[in-house]
Amino acid sequence: MTTNSHPDSGSNRVAATAVRKDSRLPLAWVLLAVAFVLLGTAGYYIGKVASLAQENRNSAVIFKQSLKASIDQFEYLPALLARDERLRDMLTGRVNNQDFINQYLRFTAERSGADIVYAMDARGEVLAASNYLDNSSFLDENYAFRPYFHRARDFRSRQFYFAKGTTTGIPGFFISAPVFENDEFIGVVTVKLELESLTRSWESAAQRVMVTDHRGVVIITSEPDWQYQLIAPLSLQQREQLISERQFPDEDPAMLFQKSASLGWFSDTDLWHIGRDAWLVNHSPIEGMDWTMHQVKRQSELVLPTMVCFAVLTLVAVLWLLFMIERRKKARYRASIRQAETQRREDLQRLIDNIHIGVLVCSADGRISSMNDYAENLLLAGADFRDGQQVSVVDLLQIPSLQTLQSPVALQQQAPQYAETWTRIGGQPVPVMYAVSPVVYDNREHYLVTLINIAKRKRAEDELVKLNASLEETISERTRELETAQQALLQKSKAAALGKMAGTIVHELSQPLSAMNSSVAALEYKLKRENWQGAAQSASRLKPLSSKMEKVVRMLKHFSYGESEQLEAIDLLAVVEQVVEVSADQLTERGVQLNIHQQLPAEHGKVMGSALKLDLAVSNLLKNALDAVADCAEPTINIGLREDNGELLLTMADNGGGIDSAIMGQLFNPYVTTKEVGKGIGLGLSITQEIVQQMQGTLDVCNRDGGACFTLRLPLIR
């Protein structure tokens, strides 16, 4: 029998073993990956060198411009001074004005920014200098050996020269111009530029820069150790010229680098080895001068990004090799699957014949082609099924039609859909569960029907139905008992709610009653002593207190009958003053110092809500503060009023020691109190918070300055 079932685990293991035996990595793939990594890394390094070279070319323009600008701004000065009549008078000896010329040259150097300006006669002796007051003055020095002197005399033109000073030891750039009187050479005027500011700016730059003269001597550099070193060997004649000109006195120029290599693909880039480091050097001639600028960068600065590139390319190559290995494995695996197809079919047939599930194959019209032994025993009562026997599956199963058998095929998605029926053969019908799957059998489409004997399951289901019926009866009885208990609990809840309401009424009426008792006690005291001072004031407080109790009763009536509440614009400052006035006797009796700090503008805003409820809220906060300072030596209560971002803020602070942090988070819960038994029931702050929330406000509390501080925020209306 041929089917399109999935491969069994034995065939999978055979295929996997074959793939593992042929999973060696081809040498060509490895060589290709290595070439990719090496060529990619080399290309990246060359690209970085090219980028660095281009960057150096761009920055070299800036460095050269700064150098030429530092020199060009003084190029005019020697020739200008050479035309000065007073200077020529001194050089010819017509006028003895040497002191004046010294001061004149000093002034010229200071105003122009030149370091030193000096004038020499025809013999090269310095007659006047801007540094005539310095210890290293050029006066009376003879510089006839300097090329900038005898070349200016011989060529009768301006000269440029760089050398280390023989007097000061400071290197500098010399600009000289000849002085003539009636076409007769009488002297030379020279300007020395030490270029310290230029070298300092180069030293602070991120790049290393140096300038060499026509002999290859480093004359200007951002690295002091490299100055006066050579980038090319000197001939004997050149060394004799350096000695005779004393261009670099006390210096013995040596080669700057041990070895050099030219990067063939970049004509202006070399590789120098200075000490233990390798340096990439870019060369750029300076236009109009016989100097060359060199920009130097450590090769090690390119090593890290190159190594990162190498690592990334290596990772890519490894991932590619893993991908190719996996792809090859899959190809080998598919080939092994195809090779094992025949063996798998044979194994499947043996499995079907020996499995303890009924299996049969039928054609599209329901005719059975084959079945295993279990199906024969289940459907044919042990009789043998012979090939070619014309038996329909509808004849063996309690199925109305062939369409009924095919319906599970249309419903199945990932797993077969099972249906239940009965067998037709035998004296006692047997309940079975069947599933139908499409298969290819003898190169034609057939149906594979699997059958399971569910007689034991049916018996278990019948027992379960009986058990469920018994459980339902038990649940109904328990439900009736729970309903009876619920009615009893409801009565208890009503009694508890009535007690809470009575406690609330007592709390809301206790404060005005306490205030009335204080006022009555004050009146009795005054009557007994016949002291009528303040008696009228104490008596006047009784009516507002009784009115307030009337309002509380009216509010309770409103809560009981659901009457509509009247909202109005309330002046919070007036409410605070009214509450303080009502509690004046209590404050006096307890010796409490009460301070009101209000920072409200003249036309301060109001809040929207119930005046009675707001009065109750403020009264509760004040009563809470009075209770807190009862045991204080100097009881103090501070009330603050101010406006903040469209809200009115009321703060009530006392010095009663504060609130325990253990109950701080539960302070606004009903029946939570910090007072002794009999002095409070824990409803005041809960009622106050509810009133504030009804007015779209907030109520917070914190410990501050040795006591508690309550902050009430209410939205402001203009």
So what's the pLDDT on residue 179? Answer: 95
pLDDT tens readout for residues 429-446: 788 888 888 877 667 778
Q: For residue 361, give the 3-state DSSP assignment.
A: strand
628 vs 425, higher pLDDT: 628
3-state helix, strand, coil in the chain (%, to 5): 50, 25, 30
More reliable by pLDDT, 373 or 426: 373
pLDDT score for 653: 94
| Cβ pair 356, 374 in contact under 8 A | yes
Cα distances from 28 to residues 33, 324, 421, 706, in angstroms, run 9, 12, 63, 85
Instruction: Return the bridge partners of 647, or none.
Output: 644, 715
CA distance 452 to 433: 5
Please give the order of strands across the beta sheet that includes 269-274.
218-221, 208-212, 292-298, 277-285, 269-274, 259-262
- 488-531 residue pLDDT tens: 654 554 444 445 455 556 656 666 777 777 777 777 777 777 67
Looking at per-residue pLDDT, the higher value among 198 and 113 belongs to: 113
The answer to whether residues 416 and 437 touch, using CB atoms and an 8 Å cutoff, is yes
- pLDDT score at 395: 77
Q: Is 168 helix (H, G, I), strand (E, B) or coil?
A: coil
Chain segment 689-714, per-residue pLDDT in tens: 888 998 899 999 999 888 999 999 99
Residue 178's pLDDT band (boundaries 50, 70, 90)? very high
Q: What is the spatial distance between Cα 541 and Cα 544, in angstroms, rounded to a whole number? A: 6
205-214: average pLDDT: 78
Which domains, and CATH codes, for the chain? 74-194 (3.30.450.20), 198-298 (3.30.450.20), 355-453 (3.30.450.20), 565-715 (3.30.565.10)
Listed range (2-11, 252-261, 573-582) with the worst mean pLDDT: 2-11
pLDDT above 70: percentage of residues in the chain: 77
- Copy the structure tokens of residue 661: 């942090």
Tell me which DSSP letter residue 1 carries.
-
pLDDT digits (tens, 9 = 90+) for 570-589: 888 888 988 888 888 788 88
Average pLDDT on 544-561 reads: 59
Task: Work out the average pLDDT over 86-101.
Answer: 90
**345: closest CA among 119, 83, 716, 10?**
10
What are the distances in angstroms from CA 624 to CA 223, 671, 690? Answer: 80, 14, 16
Are 332 and 21 in contact by the 8 Å Cβ rule? The answer is no
Phi, then psi, of 119 in degrees rounded to 5: -125, 135
Q: Give the global pTM.
A: 0.40
* b/e 403-415 (16+ beta carbons within 10 angstroms → b): eebeebeeeeeee
Question: Is the confidence at residue 4, as pLDDT, over 80?
Answer: no
Are the C-beta atoms of residues 534 and 523 closer than 8 Å to each other? Answer: no
* Single-letter amino acid, residue 347: D
| Phi, psi of 121, rounded to the nearest 5 degrees | -80, -170
